[in-house]
Amino acid sequence: MSAPTHTPPPGASAVLVLADGSVFWGRGVGARGEVVGEVCFNTSITGYQEIMTDPSYAGQMITFTFPHIGNVGTNDEDIENAKPVALGCILRQDITEPSNYRARKHFNDWLAEHGRIGIAGVDTRRLTKRIRTEGAPNGVICHNPDGTFDIPALIAKANEWPGLEGMDLAKDNSCTTGYDWDEALWSREGGYGKLGNAKHHVVAIDYGVKRNILRNLASLDCKVSVVPATTTAEEVLAMNPDGIFLSNGPGDPAATGEYAVPTIKKLIDSGKPVFGICLGHQMMALALGAKTKKMDVGHRGANHPVKDTTTGVVEITSQNHGFVVDKDSLPDNVEATHFSLFDGSLAGLRAKDKPAFAVQYHPEASPGPHDSHYLFKRFVGLIEEAKS
């Protein structure tokens, strides 16, 4: 990488610095100010609003490898959380003018309104290659229209940030009080549906849950009670659920060892059907005695092939994770059920002696393909089996 210059080029209103001293000049988008966190990349070509609102991106800023960000604007519906959670975004091109019948707001205005900082005009290919070869670095985006930047201070800030490893972000991104969920999946004709005839009761533990997971459950006739991350196993079981769902969420799964992991162990031992997604998958693995680790290269995109070894079927999946379950650490009572066809990493597991299973990726998509919706049906199938 060429030596960084600390003199802003003409017109620079933002800068991205990495902990190793790399400097990327650009044009600020969204809110002004400074943000520090992990710099990752996502290869999806659609769904920037769903991605920015996915709570699993807490502590991270997202490099969008697709250059046309903003082309469908933003609306009040394509959200996975009430507010964006990703710290900021890094873009190749200036934000595209919105052109879509559902657009309500320009992406730039939406970012600014929610206090989210971004930078456009970055060589995102160079940045992505750097992340791919050296891992996701700490970084700072600074957006200052005055064009004055204290680069050494920003680099120091990037280095001082402790990094995601060992960081528990699930508790802070959970709801603080429980609530019932009855919104079902979206359709072009009717928008979001409503839970009709509630056949099953699912308690979903919220570690930073994406709404489309809850919508999928509601669309399969599940009344969903969402509860905070620190809810105890006794409290969950006292709600008499037919099934228990462990949500996705940000941060290091191993850092949830004091509250989530022991709770999940008790819930699995109760014999109730349990289904986990992403962080939920990682914590289920920890509860079953396996280990997790930080990945050299995280998976973030909407075209990741995964093989379900129980059926032999390959599905194209939506993914967002930087930690993974070590496939060599699975105890005898745990079966590996899915593998990533990109790097062979573990993408799904099940307990052999309990109705508990989980996947590392996102069957709810949002954004992404719908190949993996069958997993929600698999969960409801386990619930029906347990009830009969």
- Binding site residues, ligand GLN, CB under 6 A: 56, 248-251, 278-279, 320-323
Distance CA 170, CA 197 (A): 32
Identity of the residue, 88 or 322, whose beta carbon is nearer to ligand GLN in the bound complex = 322
Catalytic option among 38, 50, 315, 364: 364
Q: How far is the CB of 187 from ligand GLN (least distance, A)?
A: 25
Q: How many CB atoms lie within 10 A of CB 377?
A: 12
364: annotated active-site residue: yes
Q: How far is the CB of 292 from ligand GLN (least distance, A)?
A: 8
| Nearest residue (beta carbon) to ligand GLN | 278
Identity of the residue, 71 or 303, whose beta carbon is nearer to ligand GLN in the bound complex = 303
Nearest-10 crossing angle of helices 260-269, 279-287: 70
- Give one DSSP letter per residue of 352-384, joined into a string: SSSSEEEESSBTT-SSS--GGGHHHHHHHHHHH
39: Cβ contacts below 8 Å, ≥ 6 apart = 16, 18, 60, 61, 63, 90, 127, 131, 136, 137, 138, 139
- Give one DSSP letter per residue of 123-162, joined into a string: -HHHHHHHHHHH-PPEEEEEE-TT----HHHHHHHHHHS-
Opening angle at CA 142, ends 138 and 144, nearest 5: 175
181: Cβ contacts below 8 Å, ≥ 6 apart = 195, 204, 214, 217, 218, 224, 225, 226
Is 282 annotated to bind a ligand? Reply is yes
Q: How far is the CB of 280 from ligand GLN (least distance, A)?
A: 7
Identity of the residue, 231 or 320, whose beta carbon is nearer to ligand GLN in the bound complex = 320
Residue type, 202: V
Catalytic option among 89, 142, 222, 278: 278
Q: How far is the CB of 277 from ligand GLN (least distance, A)?
A: 7
Q: How far is the CB of 75 from ligand GLN (least distance, A)?
A: 23
278: annotated active-site residue: yes
Distance CA 281, CA 248 (A): 8
Identity of the residue, 65 or 256, whose beta carbon is nearer to ligand GLN in the bound complex = 256
Is 56 annotated to bind a ligand? Reply is yes
Is 279 annotated to bind a ligand? Reply is yes
Is 174 annotated to bind a ligand? Reply is no
Identity of the residue, 24 or 376, whose beta carbon is nearer to ligand GLN in the bound complex = 376
Catalytic option among 143, 200, 281, 362: 362
353: Cβ contacts below 8 Å, ≥ 6 apart = 333
Q: How far is the CB of 270 from ligand GLN (least distance, A)?
A: 23
Identity of the residue, 26 or 251, whose beta carbon is nearer to ligand GLN in the bound complex = 251
CB 154 within 8 A of CB 24: no
211: Cβ contacts below 8 Å, ≥ 6 apart = 79, 80, 81, 183, 366
Is 322 annotated to bind a ligand? Reply is yes
Q: Which residues pair with 222 in a beta bridge?
A: 200
Is 329 annotated to bind a ligand? Reply is no
Residue positions forming the annotated binding site: 56, 249, 251, 279, 282, 320, 322-323
Residues annotated as binding site for L-glutamine?
56, 249, 251, 279, 282, 320, 322-323
Annotated catalytic residues are: 278, 362, 364
